[in-house]
Structure 1
């Protein structure tokens, strides 16, 4: 308690001054060690060289924040969904901590206005802001502990910007759903990497197509192969669910394929039968 009061007194002269004000608007509290928060928003493209020769940026804090965020979200969903099984809880945590969600949350709380970077033509899909959000959580943990980090995630991120019930109703893993559908229908589905290149920031971009019985059912672009596959799977799965003509076309192709395989099998059986030598030997 005395330590908290002492820190509060030390912060009095700094209240109302930058960058404390900017950080307090995002965090909901005033930081103690402002250096940690500055580093959390320092992108690797703007790394700073220290006197001892070390280069610093937000990557180490991002590593720490990623682990802390996983623990916090697991804690939250475990208590929020009291009677749900492990599989559901794992899926919920994945949906909340996935890059697209973190990027969206980072933009909504204003991290993009404070991040320091030399990268040009930034786009939300680079996940730069989501990575910075993880680094910020790492900074909160080092500066004020786990409870403060959890309070930030729960109150500033989830309650203000993320409806956890809506997230629970969403199905994030479209690739798994599409594979389950293909196994149930006994219809082959493939994920083909059709293109890969780099954008203006020299960031790799991947394009994946979902192929069902030779037909392109969906295509997705992302900053990782996994992301591009998920986007392509989502487009393909929704197409199968909503486009009756396309779905019927796939089933017709499947029936034709099954019929052709059956005819081929019968033909091969007849050929084998006809090629067997006749037994002309007579019994003595």
Structure 2
């Protein structure tokens, strides 16, 4: 209680009241070292220097915040799902700390409005929101310590914005799922880079193709090879579900294995797992004009 009163008095004594208020609205407490939070909001394109002429941005804080956030989310997931195995816990944590989720969280808590950048907003550099969110976590850790940082993530991020049970059930690793299915069906699978180029903001763009039994399942687009492969896998899974001609053609490429008696292995073909997320709106970014 006394600490809260002290911080309020300290706030009124400061000349730069507005930044403290803005950060308080997000954090729920007043920063001790506001410069950490201001730096967390500096994208590398902001072209800001210190008084000594050194360039500053949020990349170092992002590195630290990434590790701290991983630890906090792992702790929360571990305690929430007390009967689940390591693979489930790892997968659930990955869904929470993936870039798309962090982008949304940054917007939901209002952090996007504080980010300083000279870049135009588009589907790729929106990643700056997720990066800034991680940097913000790093700033909290340095300013207040781990316990306060953990409390912030639990009470002001996860509790109001993330349904852990729903997230745990959501499918997002389409590449792993497709590879697993192909392995069970004895079908070859390959992800190949079709093309790479840069957009108008000089950001790299990748196009990857998923080939099942040598047959194209579609081309995925992304701002990293990993993202483009995930999108290609998602397209291939949708094509397997919705295009029977393609499904039959892929199945026809199965490798026939001889059993010990010299007869063909006629193991029944597993059905594709039903997943409603395949029918949601695509998250593949649009190509630049």
TM-score, normalised via structure 1 length: 0.83
SS at match of 1:125: coil
How far apart in 2 are the matches of 1:124 and 1:155? 29
Higher percent of residues as helix? 1
The reply to whether residue 218 of structure 1 matches residue 213 of structure 2 is: no
Q: CA shift at 1:246, angstroms?
A: 2.6
Q: Does 1:80 align with 2:80?
A: yes
In structure 2, what is the equivalent of residue 186 of structure 1? Answer: 186
2:6, 2:30 → 1: CA distance?
14
Aligned equivalent of 2:134: 134
State the partner residue of 2:106. Answer: 106
Unaligned runs of 5+ in 1: 260-284
Are positions 1:229 and 2:242 aligned together? no
CA distance in 2, matches of 1:243, 1:161: 36
Aligned mates of 1:239, 1:30 — CA distance in 2: 52
| Matched position secondary structure for 2:124 | helix
Structure 1's 2 and 24: CA in aligned 2 closer, same or farther, altered over 3 A?
closer
In the alignment, is the contact (CA less than 8 A) between 2:11 and 2:17 conserved in 1? no
**1:110, distance to aligned residue in structure 2 (A):** 2.2
Structure 1 match to 2:164: 164
1:14 shift after superposition = 5.1
| Alpha-carbon offset, residue 152 of structure 1 | 1.8
In the TM superposition, what whole-angstrom CA distance separates every residue of 1:53-86 from its partner, at most 9, and x where no partner exists? 4221111111110111011101110111111111
Contact 1:14 1:20 in 2 (8 A): no
1:2 is displaced (CA, Å) by: 6.5
Larger radius of gyration: 1
Deviation at 1:30, TM superposition (A): 2.5
The question of whether the paired residues in 1 share the 8 Å contact of 2:107 and 2:129 is answered with yes
Q: Show structure 1 runs of 4+ deviating over 3 A.
A: 1-9, 12-17, 241-245
Alignment match, 1:20: 20
Stretches of structure 2 lacking an aligned partner (at least 5 in a row):
258-289
Distance 2:105 2:243 in 1: 32
Name the residue aligned to 1:116: 116
**Residues in 1 aligned to 2:209 and 2:72: alpha-carbon distance in whole angstroms:** 35
**Distance in 1 (alpha carbons) for counterparts of 2:166 and 2:22:** 30
